[in-house]
Structure 1
Amino acid sequence: MRLLGTGRQLRLHVPLSLFLALGGCSPTKPEVKPAAPPVVRVSSPLERQVTDYEIFTARTAAVQSVDINPRVSGYLTKINFKDGDVVKKGDVLFEIDDRTYAAQLAQAKASLEFSKASLIESQAEYDIGLSVQKKNKGAISEQELTRRLGARDESQASVDKSKANLALAQLYFDWCKVTSPIDGRLGRHMVDEGNLVTENVTTLVNVVSVKPIWAYFNVDQNTAERYEQLVTDGKLKSARSGKIPVQMAVGADTEFSLDGFVDFIGNQLDASTGSIQLRAVFKNEDERLVSGLFTRIRIPTSPPHEALLVTDAAIGTNQGQRYVLVVNEKQEVEYRIVDVGQMHNGLRAIKPYRTVSDTGPDGQVVQKQVEVLKPTDQVIVEGLLRAKPGIKVDPQTVDMLTLLRTPQSVPQAAKTQSSDK
């Protein structure tokens, strides 16, 4: 029994002693290390002189478009081109059976020769009468002399008529060869060889000029009014008094590489669309543009001005306001509300100054210009999600243009921007 009791005591004393032993040791707290500042990529805005533009959908049209019809009727005997050929003015495109018109031409020539012979004969008779009258006034009567003069004049009229008939016959004969009235590109032929064509009725082919080429586009009323206000303020030239330069992009092209100018503005707004029609002309030296092509026209809507350019991925949106995050000298993040402009060569324009409302000493609300961004500021271009206003960050400097040429860096920044939204 004593052993059992002793065992119980042992069993009771062992955990107690262990507890006392453990409790007698002072606890050691783990050392908490501060978190490293998040890494972000920063870049300075590019300071550039830019011009704002508006882009409109346009449709090209040939300066000249001609449906070629025959001027004489007859059977088509020959086609001298391939569909789609580029031709020069005066090139013979079609030939019509000319035998009938050749016979009429020969007849007109013979008639002219006959009239000329009659004129020579009547002129000789009249000259003889004058000569006789001079020698002996009573040898020929005035009545006879007048008759001979009338015959001479009638022969002259016959000659003039024959000349006109010959010219007309020559025209009909020449028109048997149908020529191109302009330099341009042909469409497909509409009539095959052997068919009867009718003068001024049958359409043989269409030809359009290639260069230069027009592009028509419509400008909305608000844009037109803003442009006219800039003209009134003397900041832009009027399109009615000078050539306004424009650029064109075709198809999937992102660059507006074709240069032209506005040469026509409509005389009134279209009441149904609230827009006015403009026309631009392009040289089209490489003959790339064809009539009926849908394109995009870029027209300047501001004078050249200074702007700061950053990548779009550096701009966030908060309740409709655009902002950028800037790292200051203390490597702390600052929140800057900005006004953004248009894209220029892949970068977004930011206005260095913003107009804000403030309360003056007299309690009146006044508007003032506040500088929000400088060319020397370090704008966060990647890591916006990790960078919160007021915290310290570890900035890594990159070049804005290098970042623009590195597509792989964009998705993370774009994801950050969309998260901030």
Structure 2
Amino acid sequence: MRKYILFAMIIMSIMLLFWSCNRSAQQSVTTNSSTIEYTVKKTNLTDTVSVSGKIMAESSAEIKALVSGVVKKINVQEGDTVKAGDVLVELDDSDYRLSYLKALQNYETAKNSGSRLLVEQRQLELEIAKRDLDRCKITSPVDGVVTALNVKVGDYVSKGTSVDVVAKVISLDNLYVSAAVEEVDYSKVKVGQMATLAFDAFEGVNFPAQVTYVGSEAQSSSGIVTIPIKLKLVVQNLQMTTARTSSGTQGTSEDAQSMAQGFVGQSAAQRNELLKKIIPGLSCEVQIIVLAKNDVMIIPTAAVSFEGGKAYVNVKSGTTTEKREVTVGERTSGGYEIISGLNEGEVVVVNKTSSSSTNRGVQMNIPGFAPPR
């Protein structure tokens, strides 16, 4: 019995010793520090604001019956292209034609009576009768495509009811994106900035666009404050389009072209086919380029420290490092722009805390820079 007890105590002592050593080793790994060296180089600095949008038509019309009657003839089908003034639907105008003829006869009789007031009355009745007769031919007020046709021959349409909407015509020539930006990003978004649109319906293709409107009144929904904006597709002379950055300077649309290579890189015929498929109601993800600078020096955010309102970095000098004051400019999710204090080719040292238990380090999103794993 004593042998079993002694054997158990020996086993427990060994396990306790192993656990103590293992914990000590884990603590030493957790507190272990290393450094990352980043070579300063010039690159293009781009920052974006992401919003969700929806394709809308600048010009559209719900065409209603302005007089009551039975549908006698339908001249179009859904999907047809029409011009403003084209007759879409014709109503049986027999009653209205009779009313017009009676009004015309009364007007001619009144002219022979010599009463000025009676003439004016009969003339007004004639104009109303003519107007109602003309309204038996239901026309499109805009150029566009018939997207809905709600009647068929023999239907009775009644003025002033829900069935008075006969058809819907939408112009596909002036589509725009309706979106809203949250107040935290409101100050960054300006008219003229370039953007890209990504649709679920067109995988791998981003369409170039441009901000054309920023609302002057905020809206609130469920406690979230947003400002409405509009964007327009840019499909011609993309190379000549300019984009206003958040710093107020003008830059070319090279960044938008780069982000929209799936569209820009295609032939004119392929682009036209894609554009024909963009229709009102489609949802899209919008990336607005709010900052675009070329050939600027940028370093990881973690490389910059601040003391007394001044910015400092650790610069490698031979086998040692020196702490140097720098002037920083724009800050993005990628890092800090360095205006002065560093030269291209110099190496900055970034402290990095490593951990074997997670095998994760500080992630710094810098173009061309991938921290070692």
Same fold (TM over 0.5): yes
Query: Within the alignment, does 1:248 sit opposite 2:197 as a pair?
Result: yes
Please give the residue correspondences for 1:316-335 in structure 2 after superposition, counting only pairs within 5 Å: none
Query: Within the alignment, does 1:278 sit opposite 2:228 as a pair?
Result: yes
Distance across 2 between alignment mates of 1:168 and 1:188 = 30
Report what 1:92 is aligned to.
87
Letter of the 2:198 counterpart: A
Deviations 1:98-146, CA, capped at 9 Å, x for gaps: 1111111111111111111223xxxxxxxxxxxxxxxxxxxxxxxxxxx
Please say if residues 68 and 159 of structure 2, whose CA atoms lie closer than 8 Å, have aligned partners that are also in contact.
Answer: yes
Please say if residues 65 and 159 of structure 2, whose CA atoms lie closer than 8 Å, have aligned partners that are also in contact.
Answer: yes
Bigger CA radius of gyration: 1
Q: TM-score normalised to the size of structure 2?
A: 0.57
Report what 2:77 is aligned to.
82
Secondary structure at the residue paired with 1:106? Answer: helix
Report what 1:103 is aligned to.
98
Report what 2:185 is aligned to.
223
Question: Percent sequence identity over matched residues?
Answer: 21
Distance 1:76 1:366, change over 3 A: closer
Distance 1:371 1:250, change over 3 A: farther
Q: Larger % of strand: which?
A: 2
Secondary structure at the residue paired with 1:94? Answer: strand
How many Å apart are 1:58 and its aligned residue?
Answer: 1.0
How many Å apart are 1:48 and its aligned residue?
Answer: 4.1
Distance across 1 between alignment mates of 2:127 and 2:309 = 87
Letter of the 1:172 counterpart: D
Query: Within the alignment, does 1:368 sit opposite 2:312 as a pair?
Result: yes
Distance 1:46 1:55, change over 3 A: farther
Deviations 1:328-374, CA, capped at 9 Å, x for gaps: xxxxxxxxxx517xxxxxxxxxxxx942358xxxxx89632456897
Aligned length: 249
Report what 2:304 is aligned to.
355
Query: Which runs of 5 or more residues in structure 1 are unaligned?
Result: 1-43, 120-154, 228-237, 310-337, 341-352, 359-363, 379-403, 405-412
RMSD over aligned CA atoms reads 3.6
Work out which of the residue numbers 159, 167, 180 in structure 2 matches 1:205.
167
Query: Within the alignment, does 1:116 sit opposite 2:111 as a pair?
Result: yes
Secondary structure at the residue paired with 1:257? Answer: strand
Query: Within the alignment, does 1:300 sit opposite 2:289 as a pair?
Result: yes
Distance 1:308 1:108, change over 3 A: same
Distance across 1 between alignment mates of 2:196 and 2:81 = 26
How many Å apart are 1:62 and its aligned residue?
Answer: 2.1
Report what 2:356 is aligned to.
none
How many Å apart are 1:284 and its aligned residue?
Answer: 7.7
Distance across 2 between alignment mates of 1:271 and 1:75 = 44
Letter of the 1:265 counterpart: G
How many Å apart are 1:212 and its aligned residue?
Answer: 1.6
Q: TM-score normalised to the size of structure 1?
A: 0.51
Secondary structure at the residue paired with 1:52? Answer: strand
Secondary structure at the residue paired with 2:113? Answer: helix
Deviations 1:249-273, CA, capped at 9 Å, x for gaps: 3334545433222313251252625
Query: Which runs of 5 or more residues in structure 2 are unaligned?
Result: 1-38, 236-274, 317-341, 348-367
